Structure 1
């Protein structure tokens, strides 16, 4: 039986310090049917020169070098349009793949119903020096996950909570084709992809550590909203899309939880206009409890409580905010 082709789309922006480790991890995959496409989004460091070295040594690598910065979504879409794989990995070149990552996820896909569009896994977190920081998912003393990552129909889950480690995902090509790739109008892609794909496709959690996810100050996931931040604007757009996709009471409850969270986050980062937009969405969804009526008043008066943000996070989530 012919093994399906897997396209690894490697997205690079100022990853000079991590690039060799990332590309080496792609090249040592045990799975033989791999297509590698690398996009450098006009890095300001030495990333492009390093990629050229790899292309010279490994001519099968396709290299797209941007003359203008396009952002992650556009960069991915450009590479996806060139790709031919039945399965796709969106790989940021500050992360690292386990050697058997592709082989194990393909094997999982081939054993699952065609309704499954995404297979995701656990990951080991590493710092800038590649030192281990622990696993992405919490586990008890027996090694059991808690809470368990959702699988199957995860639409309500992706609305209500953050539980997928993005770099661990392998995606069926048909899913991305159906969605038209990533929404290039957005500043980031994962939440939007989860919402749109989970409406019609199932997810499967493969309980293995197959990726090293790097934690560093410049990664997009570690950026705190600044006033007028495009990520927050994108989040509002995604929630508006989700409002049109919700079908059940459970999904509506999950959407309310998401809006409440984002409204709090917008307020405590000084994004008052966006917080008011979110609070109006919350009112439209019937989720305006007394605490959020107070939050609306504080937002309208622009009462600056940003100094309490760290203590708020410690109280609510058991850790301080960044």
Structure 2
């Protein structure tokens, strides 16, 4: 008898099924996601792939998120549920789930995103065809708003659903340094790679850039050209917090950039990282984190002298110009413009 999603048999039957169908662990982190969490978890339960376990970690939500999870557990008691008595952050919460996960592959699912029914089946099939040095398979994503309306795609697509632009695949370390291109919620990761890295770095405010830097140095990534996930763009999404004055995300980014610097091996990689740091310096100015901008400058100077544009931004930082209010209004205008054109991209 095949297991249904969210229900994983134990003992010898589990070992046998795992040998023919790798178990996939879906770790869902929730914090005040009452409005969306039922749809997110139901999308896991509705997967066509049978060997799935679902772990939910709630970071001390103050809304009705816990009640929504408990209601689903009444119907699907195999869902594992951890309720934290405080908000321990995304990275530590994920690691709680990782310690319990039994799957060969792991998906980090936000409680406001939705997986398409064939996603796990398609990604497992793709992973099983790859060589052993692939750590991540990722795909395209649809963007939806708070009312489930389609607003665009992570990569623009043709009428047949294929992306219209080249997407880095294979050895992507330099590409990871140069730009944000992996849609985080589309990733399926090898659990043994996550464990070898010690899971997510719990000293950081967010997880993906650091994981990419640490894993892409020694492992390959594979881009699967399909739309398999719907990523929800909401007003208070993590990516939008990069716009906020004194957000902790940029300080975490500086730590990751130092890790990346230590792992660079070629001039091209150093140039890619330098270009990204120049962008982060501008973000420090826009978010009025003026002292942090100069800490990024210190790292940049190990690789190159700041160009005139960066030097000008740093001069503005010395003057402590209050620009964040204007920047946030511009960012909202730009996102609304992208929403209308169906080309929305999170600021990262």
Pair in the same fold by TM > 0.5: yes
Q: How does 1:213-224 map to 2 (within 5 A)?
A: 213-224=231-242
- Per-residue CA shift, 1:62-94, capped at 9, x if unaligned? 111111111110100001001110000000110
Unaligned runs of 5+ in 1: none
SS where residue 20 of structure 1 aligns? helix
Contact 1:217-1:223 within 8 A present in 2 as well: no
Matched, 1:106 2:124: yes
Q: Cα offset for 1:297?
A: 1.9
User: 2-side partners of 1:197 and 1:276: how far apart?
Assistant: 28
Gap change, CA 1:208 and 1:305, over 3 Å in 2: same
SS at match of 2:218: coil
2:141 counterpart of 1:133:
no
- Whole-angstrom distance in 1 between the partners of 2:114 and 2:329: 34
2:169 aligned to which of 151, 160, 169? 151
Check conservation: 2:163, 2:225, Cα contact below 8 A: no
Among candidates 201, 218, 236, match of residue 183 of structure 1: 201
Unaligned segments of structure 2, at least 5 residues: 1-18, 339-345
Count of paired positions: 321
Distance 2:22 2:160 in 1: 36
CA contact (8 A) 1:256 1:282 kept: yes
Map of 1:28 onto structure 2: 46
**More displaced, 298-307 or 79-88?**
298-307
Contact 1:225 1:231 in 2 (8 A): no
Distance 2:163 2:227 in 1: 13
What's 1:165 paired with?
183
Deviation at 1:138, TM superposition (A): 2.0
Aligned-CA RMSD value: 2.3
Q: What SS does structure 2 have at the residue aligned with 1:85?
A: coil
Matched, 1:89 2:107: yes
The separation in 1 between residues aligned to 2:70 and 2:142, in whole angstroms, is 29
Name the TM-score, length of structure 1 as normaliser. Answer: 0.93
Question: 1:128-182 deviations in whole A, cap 9, x for unaligned?
Answer: 0101112111246786534322110100101110101100000011110111000
C-alpha distance in 2 between matches for 1:61 and 1:133:
31
- In structure 2, do the counterparts of structure 1 residues 140 and 59 end up closer, same or farther at CA, with 3 Å as the change threshold? closer
- Correspondence for 2:55: 37
Residue 274, structure 1, aligned to residue 292, structure 2: yes
